[in-house]
């Protein structure tokens, strides 16, 4: 039954990520990977809340593994980082790297503290 929760959550998370990509591309034409950064930071914050609430079992399968796993995207983020580095776009690479890793952990912590 947990696999069904992961499936449902993953579909919903992927659809939300897709909608955020579409929405972002309608108003933002820059080269900075804003949509990926937004979903990863939001996912970190929400994971902090789940962690604080000791979400387990089917709820974690649905929300943590499924929804947040479908929403966030580690592979796309690393591809975008490598692409910026390869193209010597250091003014994109450095803030994106710092905002993603430091910002992600900070938002995870803030979500955890707020939910406690």
Are 44 and 98 in contact by the 8 Å Cβ rule? The answer is no
Give the pLDDT mean for 101-111.
96
Tell me the C-alpha distance between 43 and 37, whole Å. Answer: 10
Length of the chain: 116
Determine the pLDDT at residue 90. 97
Token pair for 14: 């992927």
Determine the pLDDT at residue 16. 96
Token pair for 41: 């930071």
pTM: 0.86
26 contacts: CB under 8 Å, gap ≥ 6 = none
């Amino acid at each position: 039954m947990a696999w069904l929760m992961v499936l449902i959550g993953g579909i919903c998370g992927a659809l939300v990520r897709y909608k955020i990509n579409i929405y972002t591309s309608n108003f933002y034409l820059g080269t900075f990977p804003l949509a990926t950064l937004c979903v990863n930071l939001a996912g970190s914050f929400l994971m902090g809340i789940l962690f604080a609430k000791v979400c387990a079992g089917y709820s974690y399968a649905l929300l943590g593994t499924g929804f947040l796993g479908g929403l966030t995207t580690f592979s796309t983020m690393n591809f975008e980082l490598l692409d910026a580095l390869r193209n010597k776009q250091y003014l994109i690479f450095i803030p994106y790297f710092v905002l993603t890793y430091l910002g992600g952990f900070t938002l995870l912590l803030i979500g955890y503290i707020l939910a406690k």
